[in-house]
Amino acid sequence: MNDTVVNELVALLTLERLEDNLFRGQSRDIGTKYVFGGQVLGQALSAAQQTVEDGRSVHSIHAYFLRAGDINAPIVFDVDRARDGHSFSVRRVTAIQHGQPILVFASSFQKSEPGLEHQFNMPEVPMPEDVEPTVAPSAEVMATLPAKMQRWLSRMGPFEMRPIYPRDEVKPPKRPPYQQVWFRLTGHVSDDPQLHQALLAYASDFYLLGTTTFPHGISYYQPNVQMASLDHAMWFHRPFRVDDWLLYSLDSPTAENARGLARGLIYTRDGRLVASVAQEGLIRVLPEGEQAH
């Protein structure tokens, strides 16, 4: 259990209400160069959720990352109550820092109702208990990395990650663009489904863009590799808990024109498909000796 960092994450997603449709959230330095994209996604969803009533639950989010977020500054979330229909509600959210939008976000909420059901089966993979936890690089390798990267790799984050087939991110081999990762929150949180949805939005930004690098033998850890999320889409299908094990099954069908596309399906350990994710991101490999900013 790692209740301190879990409580910090829950607090990060619990926004301060400034006006009926205006909220403020803080940022947290987790070792990335800029604000982690999943943080802004989770906070934007949290802002939208606070303006929706009648028990409607989010079923989809769509977002564009416009600018890199400043870790040292708060973020203001401006919610537009675009529509409240008989069954669906739509919210548009703009995340703002230093007077400029850093994210535009749309989400749709629906009243629960019966309907047709089917899903893809979960891949056949070892259960999380049979997969080794992620291990930080050795002290010798750590010493060769930038300070922020060292903090990212050595931190005890709020999520435990167990890749089925881990790869060396410092010296990555070339591999097909597929991976599966078990993950869960390291401590228990309340039963509030809206909180679990915001937490899953946060976690959904892990591993996606990295999957697009597999066939090319590169990684975000290399100083001449520049990577950034451009957009993010997510669909919520069935109830889940983020403090129970979930399987993230990822693939990348294509990369071109300095962009890579990644997709993910998220399953409970008993095989229920609970969410689908898609993301396109920027991937630039600079000439040797140049460093990404």
- Which residues are marked as active site? 205, 229, 279
The amino acid that residue 243 corresponds to is D
Rg (CA), the chain: 19
271: left (phi over 0), alpha (psi -120 to 50) or beta: left
